[in-house]
Amino acid sequence: MPDRTLRVCALYPDLMNIYADRGNLLLLERRCTWRGMGFELVGVGLGEEIDPDAHDLLYLGGGQDRDQQLVAADLATRKRDAVHAHAARGGAILAVCGGYQLLGHSYELADERVPGVGLLDLETVRHDGPRLIGNVAIEVDLPGTGGPRVLAGFENHGGRTHLGPGVRPLGRVLKGHGNTGSSGHEGAVQGAVVGTYLHGPLLPKNAWFADWLVRQALALDVGLPPLDDALEDAAHAGARTAAGL
């Protein structure tokens, strides 16, 4: 489908990029190129505006606490309306770890409650227990994927994310901790908006999920042309094994 172009906007790419999560953007670019599709990537930082109609996919990674606090103030004020408008028209969003927390109503950082963008019905609170760290695998059932599939990655978060009734979990924890360490759920999904704690980076370990995101972002009713995914399948198998599946 050479006439299609995936337009991606990376939010705060200089501040919200840990655990090699920039690899998520690289994988999207490569899979589009291999299929003869166009790929456009722009970065939007602090103090800059977002055009809610200019992008198919917004990407928000994780960051250190200090950087995340700077981003939270900017996202909840300058960019809030545009992010909501993007999602309302069916635009896709992938938010990882700190980015996932920022999609909710608020999260606790040290002794402060920091506002989120309020797109997903969830809140993240601090916890006296240990950080939730390690390889993780979850079972997800997304429309158009032919039934339950496994996402595998790596989690490292001190916050516990609690979902409200307005959003559903991304998946069921098979191995690892997930949102709270006890809920049995990981991540959150609402239409084409996905939040997750899975790092590693996520998409190179789960190429099928990257393709699902592209389809959602471009509102495609048909599947993408197949690729030789021998290496991608091996990466996914390795991630599953690391998680204990």
Tens digit of each residue's pLDDT (9 = 90 or more) over 136-152: 999 999 999 989 999 99
The pLDDT value recorded for residue 17 is 84
From the list 17, 9, 13, 173, the residue with the least C-alpha distance to 82 is: 9
Q: How far apart are the first and last CA of the chain?
A: 36
Work out the pLDDT band at 3, boundaries 50, 70, 90.
confident
The beta strands (E) that lie in 38-159 are given as 38-44, 57-60, 92-96, 106-109, 112-115, 122-125, 132-140, 149-157
Task: Give residue 144's region: left, alpha or beta (phi > 0; psi -120 to 50).
Answer: left
- Distance, in Å, from the CA atom of 116 to the CA atom of 122, rounded to the nearest integer, reads 10
Q: Is the pLDDT of residue 110 over 90?
A: no
Q: What is the mean pLDDT of residues 65-85?
A: 91
Q: Is the pLDDT of residue 2 over 70?
A: no
Please give the C-alpha separations between residue 187 and each of 40, 99, 126, 160, 162, in angstroms, as whole numbers: 27, 11, 17, 11, 10
Burial status of residue 9 (CB atoms within 10 A of its CB: 0-12, 13-18, 19 or more): buried
Q: Is the pLDDT of residue 65 over 90?
A: no
Q: What is the mean pLDDT of residues 105-131?
A: 90
Mean pLDDT (the chain, rounded): 94
Tell me what percent of the residues of the chain surpass a pLDDT of 70: 99
Task: Give residue 47's region: left, alpha or beta (phi > 0; psi -120 to 50).
Answer: left
Predicted TM-score of the model (pTM): 0.96
Domains in the chain, number: 1
pLDDT per residue over 169-223, tens digit each?
A: 999 999 999 999 999 999 999 999 999 999 989 999 999 999 999 999 999 988 8
R_g over Cα of the chain: 17
Contact yes or no for 125/215 (Cβ under 8 A): no
Work out the pLDDT band at 5, boundaries 50, 70, 90.
very high
Q: Which residues are catalytic?
A: 97, 199
Contact yes or no for 134/177 (Cβ under 8 A): yes
Work out the pLDDT band at 1, boundaries 50, 70, 90.
low
Residues 6+ apart with CB under 8 A from 134: 154, 155, 176, 177, 243
Vertex 192: Cα angle to 189 and 219 (nearest 5): 155
Q: Give 51's DSSP letter.
A: -
Question: Which CATH number covers residue 75?
Answer: 3.40.50.880
Written as six digits, the tokens of 167 are: 């959003």
pLDDT per residue over 36-62, tens digit each?
A: 999 999 999 999 999 999 999 999 998
* Residue ranges making up the domain that contains 231: 5-243
β-sheet bridge partners, residue 108: 113
Phi first, then psi: what are they for 17, rounded to 5°?
Answer: -155, 85
Written as six digits, the tokens of 41 are: 């990537």
Asked if residue 226 has a cis previous peptide bond (ω within 30° of 0), the answer is no
The pLDDT value recorded for residue 213 is 98
Q: What is the mean pLDDT of residues 86-105?
A: 96
